[in-house]
């Protein structure tokens, strides 16, 4: 399908939706926007977009509709409400839900939409407001290949990475796994800050070091290169690589725990990490983990 044949709609022009929709303003097929706040629409209509009063009115004009609203209830209303997308959308329309909702909600709504010949895909985003402003988001799409191919080109306007995660619901499941890592990492960061503060370290300077080196190494994502979490055979080339990571990690974690003991700072995440790092990497615990865990028991 050509760019001019695809007409775009965007519902929800908040902190994420507005910068994403802005990058669609020059789409050759045109852009229709909808938001409950008139002031949110004004910059878009001034730039040439068409304003619609309801999601149903968007669906009358658009063949690909992005939805970025607050939660499951709002998504349901936008899709199935009295003035919702389903009331007017033509068969073949693709509805992309960028909001992070339950994967079961995505599957349920996709089933309802399929009865009308409409593709609803879950397409959550990662990268936050800075990524939206810079057009550098990642979009994780759950839906059929046909729908994925339809949205790849327009979504590339606001995303550097557009991934087909699998069937409907898979995009949300990928986003939840990604954010699990994100917020556990934040919790670990608070633990590291407490240790650094107790040791008399400037935690703002520590933050600079973390951001600098994560940009080089890739952070936690640097180990996410295998296609399975199964144990690694010693004959596998990954064994020596991940074994090296384990050995370094166990050494540094044990040293951090020792420092925490001396400074009377409780480091529960560090203790869990030391105990589970090797097994999580698929290479089993090293000698440091075995020794330190027994000593701390």
- Residues marked as catalytic: 175
Residue 21, SS3?
Answer: helix
d(CA 163, CA 149): 11
168: nearest Cα among 146, 187, 184: 146
Half-sphere exposure at residue 113, Cβ-oriented, CA atoms within 13 angstroms: 33
Distance CA 277, CA 227 (A): 18
Q: How far is 25 from 272, CA to CA, in rounded Å? A: 49
Q: Where in the chain does DSSP place strands (E)?
A: 8-11, 31-34, 50-51, 64-67, 94-97, 119-122, 125-126, 137-142, 159-166
């Amino acid at each position: 399908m050509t760019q001019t044949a695809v007409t775009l709609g965007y519902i929800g022009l908040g902190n994420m939706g507005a910068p994403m929709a802005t990058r669609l303003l020059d789409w050759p097929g045109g852009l229709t926007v909808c938001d409950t706040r008139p002031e949110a629409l004004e910059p878009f209509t001034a730039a040439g977009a068409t304003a619609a009063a309801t999601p149903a009115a968007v669906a009358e004009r658009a063949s690909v509709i992005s939805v970025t609203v607050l939660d499951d209830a709002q998504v349901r209303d936008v899709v199935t409400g009295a003035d919702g997308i389903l009331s007017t959308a033509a068969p073949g329309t693709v509805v992309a839900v960028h909001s992070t909702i339950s994967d079961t909600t995505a599957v349920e709504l996709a089933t309802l939409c399929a009865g009308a010949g409409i593709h609803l895909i879950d397409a959550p985003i990662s990268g936050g407001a800075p990524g939206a402003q810079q057009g550098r988001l990642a979009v994780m799409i759950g839906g059929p290949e046909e729908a994925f191919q339809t949205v790849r080109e327009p979504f590339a306007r606001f995303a550097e990475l557009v991934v087909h995660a699998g069937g409907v619901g898979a995009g949300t499941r990928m986003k939840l796994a990604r954010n699990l890592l994100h917020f556990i990492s934040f919790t670990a960061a608070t633990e590291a800050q407490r240790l650094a503060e107790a040791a008399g370290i400037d935690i703002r300077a520590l933050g600079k070091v973390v951001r600098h080196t994560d940009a080089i190494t890739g952070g936690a994502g640097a180990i996410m290169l295998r296609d399975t979490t199964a144990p690694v055979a010693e004959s596998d080339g990954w064994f020596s690589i991940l074994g090296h990571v384990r050995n370094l990690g166990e050494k540094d974690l044990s040293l951090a725990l020792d420092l925490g003991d001396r400074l009377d700072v409780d480091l529960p995440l560090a203790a869990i990490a030391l105990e589970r790092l090797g097994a999580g990497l698929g290479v089993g615990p090293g000698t440091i983990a075995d020794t330190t865990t027994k000593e701390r028991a």
